[in-house]
Structure 1
Amino acid sequence: MTELEKCLAGELYDCHNPIFLDYKNRTRELLASYNSLPYGRKQEKTHLLRQLFGSMGTNVSVATPFLCDYGRNMHLGNNVSINMNCTFVDCNEIRIGNNVLIASNVQIYTATHPIDLEERLVHDWNPESGAYFCHTRALPVRIGNGCWLGGGVIVLPGITIGEGTVIGAGSVVTRNIPSHCVAAGNPCRVIRNINGTQQQ
């Protein structure tokens, strides 16, 4: 398998492989252009976002500043609003459904590293290799249709948030959250169903 195939399969991979460095260089150039555009130049912004993202629906708004790793692994539906100062580390896929609101300072991560130090370190690493000194893994994140993520929410790798769910401001989402509920806290937990039923 190539390093890209390992990455998208959720296996350990070298994030300093030339293909990823090429992705990052292209993304940084697009982001520099995007983040420097005035608010009102929406057609130009949309054009840049379509170059940046893997796919994007209609009526998508991404406030500046905005940061992402590759861009190409992000897939956005229709009617998506991403507020200012968000960071999406899209080493694997980030899929965002239709009619989604993402508030300011939200962070979505797909990249992670092994917990065990012996597994995390590359034991035959040397500075001349060009490789990264530790192993990386990337797991996809899915945000369902109709979700609202409050300000400062952090979503960890491999998480799925079900459709219609609201995540309270400042929450750290460490596990999957079901559809049609309000969830909040660190770690984020379900508080109630959207219809008012209390969760146990």
Structure 2
Amino acid sequence: MTEKEKMLSGEYYDPDDSELIAMRLRARLLTETLNQTSAEKPEERHRIIRALFGSTGKVFHIESVFNCEYGKNIHVGDNFFANFGCVILDVAEVRIGRDCLIAPQVGIYTATHPTDPKKRAAGLEYAKPITIGDNCWIGGHATINPGVTLGNNVVVASGAVVTKSFGDNVVIGGNPARILKTI
């Protein structure tokens, strides 16, 4: 297996692999261009995001500053909105459904590191995919951790740290996030 194949399958991989370095550089150059492109040029911003992401719906909007790791592992549905300061570390796939809203300063992180100090010191990494259903709203400064799946119609309260998966129709919040109410 290549290091990219290992990475995408959730196995330990070497992030210093030349293919992965080239992919990260491509993403950084595209996000740099996106973040420097005026809000008065929405068509150009859409073109950059479509080149960066694995897939998008027809309608989407991302405010600058936006950052991601690879870009190609991000898939968003129609009517997607990400506000200022969104960071998506898409070492594994990130799938976000339609009609989703991401508030300012949200972090969505698939990347993780070994707890074994020898493996960590060796520079190995791994990742777990994240899936966010349709019609979700992620509040400001929320953090979505590796391996989390959120169902449809989930609301994540501001500042929540989501460390486990939740089903449909719930409001979650806190650290670690727990169900605050059923919708």
TM-score norm. by structure 1 comes to: 0.90
Aligned residues: 183
Query: Could you list the per-position Cα deviations for residues 103-160 of structure 1 after superposition, in whole angstroms to 9, with x for gaps in the alignment?
Result: 00000101101112133232xxxxxxxxxxx210011000100000000000111110
Percent identical among aligned pairs is 39
1:99 aligns to what SS in structure 2?
A: coil
Residue matched to 1:114:
114
Distance 2:107 2:133 in 1: 16
Query: Could you list the per-position Cα deviations for residues 48-79 of structure 1 after superposition, in whole angstroms to 9, with x for gaps in the alignment?
Result: 11100000111100000100010000001000
RMSD: 0.8
Residue matched to 1:7:
7
Distance 1:154 1:4 in 2: 25
Residue matched to 1:131:
none
Say if 2:178 is the partner of 1:169. Answer: no
Distance 1:57 1:189 in 2: 30
Whichever residue aligns with residue 167 of structure 1, its letter is: V
Deviation at 1:89, TM superposition (A): 0.4
TM-score norm. by structure 2 comes to: 0.98
Residue matched to 2:138:
149
Distance 1:48 1:28 in 2: 12
Name segments (4+ residues, structure 1) moved above 4 Å: none
Distance 2:94 2:16 in 1: 20
The correspondence of residues 1-200 of structure 1 with structure 2, limited to 5 A, is 1-122=1-122, 134-194=123-183
Give unmatched runs, 5+ long, in structure 1: 123-133, 195-200
Query: Could you list the per-position Cα deviations for residues 20-48 of structure 1 after superposition, in whole angstroms to 9, with x for gaps in the alignment?
Result: 11011111111111101111210000011
Distance 2:81 2:73 in 1: 18
1:182 aligns to what SS in structure 2?
A: strand
Distance 1:31 1:186 in 2: 30
Distance 1:50 1:116 in 2: 38
> Could you say which structure has the larger radius of gyration?
1
Deviation at 1:177, TM superposition (A): 1.4
Deviation at 1:191, TM superposition (A): 1.1
Whichever residue aligns with residue 11 of structure 1, its letter is: E
Distance 2:27 2:154 in 1: 30
